[in-house]
Amino acid sequence: MVALAGGVGGAKLADGLAGCLEPTSLTIIVNTADDFTHLGLQISPDIDTVTYTLAGLADPERGWGRGDESWAFMETMAALGGPTWFRLGDRDLALHHFRSLRQAQGIPLSSITAEVRESLGVRPSIVPMSDERVRTIVSTDEGELAFQTYFVARKCEPVVKAIRFEGIDAAGPAPGVLESLEAADIVIFCPSNPWVSLDPILAIPAIREQVGRKPVLMISPIISGKTLKGPAAKMYAELGVEPSALAVARHYEELLSGIIIDEVDAHLEETIRSLGIQVKTDQTIMRSRSERVQLVQSLLEFSRSVLMKEDAQ
């Protein structure tokens, strides 16, 4: 099984999958268009969120960074009058230094990600979408903003007009991405932001093509027109689409075999089904580890029925 994931929502489902599947049968392909260089360090927020979550180290409240964290570096930076808008905990800082050091030695991001994953005892594969540099640029009513400036510094407040992925034309899939997709029975789109977490992965033509050959299931990140975390619903509205699980299904109409939508959105079931997409309704909010596992069990059951129907056709 291959899962495509962005940050916090994606990491939670990936953790549920890791809890239910043989580690060797799961690969998580992670968005790297959120990556940036900050304070001279190479930061890969989504890779780190997925890795920390699967290692059981993620902060349960924030979802990103580590739970067992101290903030002496940030406090000292603040006292110096330096930039503190992007918070780097002391332990987390070591990881960004390690990544920067290895990159300066010419080691590709995919290899560094594997080194970190192994040292933290995480067994499923975590693969960046690309070893090449791709950067999400958000075009807003305040002009073009680098993703983390829009997301963290400006708290997603500017109105989004368009989104582009700088560097995407020169980016190829990282080693392991196409191989894992070729071997997969099914591809899962985690409940991540379609615009800025899943779209960048699928904007790499070879990835989209390979995903297009497989049955794809997704869990809608939009529940009752809203997101639990992050700006996906706001982005849909600002880009002229009413945010809903139906909008998400339409976004990926060409790729999706099935979608799980929250039970509060059951009224959308028939319209989504009329797009030729199989639908299951369930409780999709993952407040605890047991809810992650419950949702994954529901997803696995759904995937068996989707695969059976596809086989019968």
CB of 19 to ligand FO1, least distance (A): 22
**How many residues in the shown chain lie near ligand FO1 by CB under 6 A?**
17
| Cβ-based nearer residue to ligand FO1, 151 or 302 | 151
Percentages (nearest 5) of helix, strand, coil residues in the chain: 45, 20, 35
Question: Considering the rule CB under 6 A, would residue 86 count as an interface residue with ligand FO1?
Answer: yes
Say how many C-beta atoms besides its own lie within 10 A of residue 304's C-beta. Answer: 11
CB of 169 to ligand FO1, least distance (A): 22
In the complex, residue closest to ligand FO1 by CB: 7
d(CA 228, CA 240): 20
Question: Considering the rule CB under 6 A, would residue 88 count as an interface residue with ligand FO1?
Answer: yes
d(CA 86, CA 83): 8
Question: Considering the rule CB under 6 A, would residue 165 count as an interface residue with ligand FO1?
Answer: no
Structural tokens at position 54? 């699967």
d(CA 170, CA 16): 33
Using CB under 6 A, pick the residue from 3, 11, 66, 92 that binds ligand FO1: 92
Structural tokens at position 16? 């549920």
Q: Cα–Cα distances in Å, from 65 out to 7, 28, 60, 160?
A: 11, 19, 9, 26
Site string (25-44) toward ligand FO1, x via CB under 6 A: ---------x----------
Question: Considering the rule CB under 6 A, would residue 7 count as an interface residue with ligand FO1?
Answer: yes
Specify the stretch interacting with ligand FO1 by CB under 6 A; choose among 5-13, 22-30, 113-121, 132-140.
5-13
| Cβ-based nearer residue to ligand FO1, 87 or 234 | 87
- Cβ–Cβ under 8 Å, residues 215 and 256: no
Using CB under 6 A, pick the residue from 21, 41, 67, 87 that binds ligand FO1: 87
Structural tokens at position 292? 């992650």
Q: Using CB under 6 A as the criterion, which residues of the chain lie in contact with ligand FO1 when the complex forms?
A: 6-8, 34, 45-46, 48-49, 64-65, 86-88, 92, 148, 151-152
